[in-house]
Amino acid sequence: MAAIGVLRGDSTDGARPLAVVGRDPRASGEMLEAAVVAGLASAGADVLLAGVLPTPAVAYLAADVGADLGVVLSASHNPMPDNGVKFFGRGGYKLPDDVEDAIEQRLYEEWDRPVGAQVGRVQTLPDAATRYAEHLLSLAPAPLSGLRVVVDGAHGAAATLAPAVYRKAGAEVICIGCEPDGYNINDAVGSTHPQALQAAVRAHAADVGIAHDGDADRCLAVDADGAMVDGDAILAVCALAMRDAGTLRGGRVVTTVMTNLGFTRAMAEAGIGVVQTAVGDRYVLEAMRKHGISLGGEQSGHLVFGDLAVTGDGVLTGLQLLGRMAATGQPLASLASVLQRSPQVLVNVPVPDRQVAASPAVTQAVAAEQQRLGDAGRVLLRPSGTEPLVRVMVEAVTEQEAVSCAERIAAAVRAASG
């Protein structure tokens, strides 16, 4: 594949390139895996098949075995019919934009295809899940004894692994969304469908609920009363834990433009600085590495612990959050109360073309609403990176004002879409 040549810089050291390939359990991943592996081997790369594993597991294993490339076949939180390909380079890091552009350019260039003994070989990595689970457990900040946890595996890549890890860390675990069949991934379960988890936490009188998405790079939570605890609140809890432990390098955290204004206020009161980036855990990680910061994350539940992992890891995040609960003896609602959020509304507008977000009519509507809100609120409009949606986010003094503002902008997006 074109990625091999770009990532290895056309090395002539004689070593055969090595790739680690994993996937989530959706049915289409079976045939995509076969196609990707065939492409890699035909390009002269040796392939290690990791099987069904979370996206961060492939990143970890790629670094652990010294691979040139990690490949994940997953559509994350998207519905089952969707699928996609994620790449990691050396060290398990996500590829920067310029490398992705170079790979795309290579697709149109002529190249000499390997033949005979130069063709790559394919092997299974039989202990992939065990190696990753042991790695996670080695990073658990405290035993989870005494915690009753409901885990929603989204019928996804961590449906088996995540409950096993939390149990081995000491928690009593109740599972929902942990029976993947290739078709039910993210179907009314997981981090984008928390209702089942909220009900299960209340029904089982659990201390906390943990929700992952299809490829388990996200973690959201539910407190004992069934209230949602999003990525902003989890990030705040973990930031304070790391500050107290002396592991919050630089005394700052990295967030995105979607992060609630209440988070910035909470961090200021705690003496912690905030660096803001575009939406995407890749950009969060880039800013962390640039500024020497050890923690960053997104409202959606992607958290990156820079001294522990090279990408967002939902199960690692769950361990850190549960560890804070266990170490302090405080319920999640109490820990999360550090974040007093501003009313924030998010409206997803289906569109045939996401470029409508940049149209003059929509731009004017956004400017008018921002002027109406003044310094007391803000508007963020952005096309989804994975779905045919334009996301309208508004923060205001009151929820009613935020809803009204968001709906007016959403109406402008719909009108501009025809």
CATH number at residue 380: 3.30.310.50
Q: Which residues of 228-261 are buried (b: 16+ CB within 10 A; e: fewer)?
A: bbbbbbbbbbbbbbbbeeeebeeebbbbbebbbb
Cα–Cα distance, 265 to 248 (Å, whole number) = 18
Q: Is residue 134 part of a domain?
A: no
Q: Is residue 147 part of a domain?
A: yes
Cα–Cα distance, 45 to 102 (Å, whole number) = 19
Residue finishing a domain among 98, 126, 154: 126
Q: Is residue 131 part of a domain?
A: no
Q: Is residue 361 part of a domain?
A: yes
Q: Which residues are catalytic?
A: 76
Bridge-partner residues for 296, per DSSP?
A: 254, 304
Same domain for 17 and 116? yes
Same domain for 373 and 296? no
Same domain for 107 and 218? no
Residue finishing a domain among 288, 310, 336: 336
Cα–Cα distance, 42 to 317 (Å, whole number) = 37
* pLDDT value for 224: 98
CATH number at residue 299: 3.40.120.10
Same domain for 282 and 412? no
* pLDDT value for 8: 56
Look up residue 86 and give its two tokens.
Answer: 């994620």
Residue 86 contacts residue 160 (beta carbons within 8 Å): no
Domain count of the chain? 3
* pLDDT value for 6: 53
pLDDT digits (tens, 9 = 90+) for 64-83: 999 999 999 999 999 999 99
Same domain for 145 and 209? yes
Residue 343 contacts residue 350 (beta carbons within 8 Å): no
pLDDT digits (tens, 9 = 90+) for 166-192: 999 999 999 999 999 999 999 999 999
| Average pLDDT in the chain | 93
**What's the Rg (C-alpha) of the chain?**
22
Q: Other CB atoms closer than 10 Å to residue 328's CB: what's the count?
A: 15
Q: Is residue 190 part of a domain?
A: yes
Is residue 16 over pLDDT 70? yes
pLDDT digits (tens, 9 = 90+) for 93-144: 988 888 888 888 877 778 778 899 989 999 999 999 999 999 999 999 999 9
pLDDT digits (tens, 9 = 90+) for 110-123: 877 889 998 999 99
Average pLDDT score over residue span 344-371? 93
Range of the domain at 19: 2-126
User: What whole-number percentage of the chain has pLDDT above 70?
Assistant: 97
Cα–Cα distance, 205 to 223 (Å, whole number) = 10
Residue finishing a domain among 100, 126, 152: 126
Residue 332 contacts residue 147 (beta carbons within 8 Å): no
Same domain for 308 and 241? yes
Same domain for 373 and 309? no
Amino acid at 358: A
* pLDDT value for 12: 47
Q: Is residue 121 part of a domain?
A: yes
Same domain for 363 and 380? yes
Same domain for 71 and 26? yes
Start-to-end CA span in the chain (Å): 40
Residue 211 contacts residue 190 (beta carbons within 8 Å): yes
Cα–Cα distance, 261 to 48 (Å, whole number) = 44
Same domain for 40 and 168? no
Q: Which of 150-159, 301-310, 375-384 has the lowest mean pLDDT?
A: 375-384
Same domain for 205 and 117? no
Q: Is residue 114 part of a domain?
A: yes
Same domain for 304 and 378? no
Cα–Cα distance, 362 to 156 (Å, whole number) = 37
Q: Is the dihedral of CA 235, 239, 245, 247 positive or negative?
A: positive
Q: Is residue 133 part of a domain?
A: no
